[in-house]
Amino acid sequence: MATLIPNFTPAQIAVMSTAQIAALSTEDWAAFSGAQIAALTTAQIPAIALAGLRVLGAPQIAAFEAGQHRRHTPVPAQPQLQVHTAAGP
C-alpha cells in the first residue's frame, strides 16, 4: 500500500499519537518532508522505530535537528568542575 504521509500537513503530524508514530512503516518515514520531520514533538520522537530512523536521509535529519532545537529552552550554563591532582590542575 502506498504511503499517505505526503498528504499530511506538519500540523497533522504534530498531533499524531505515539502509537500512530510507532506504527509508521519505513516507506512512511522515507516519504516525510523536512517540514513534517521538524513538526515532530519531543513526545513522539521516542516512538520512532529504529528501522524508521535508518531510512531518513541527510535533509530529513537536518530538518529534524532544526525542528527540535527550536523547541528547547536553553539550559543555563553549569559551573565547571575542576579536578586537581598532586601534580597540579
pTM of the entire predicted model:
0.72
Q: Which residue has the higher pLDDT, 61 or 79?
A: 61
The Cα angle at residue 39 between residues 36 and 43, in degrees rounded to 5: 125
- Scan for cell 537536518, then name that residue: 62
The answer, yes or no, to whether residue 71 has pLDDT greater than 60, is: no
Domain coordinates in residue numbering, the chain: 9-71
pLDDT value, residue 64: 76
pLDDT (tens digit per residue) in 16-54? 999 999 999 999 999 999 999 999 998 999 999 999 999
Contact by Cβ (8 Å): 39, 10: yes
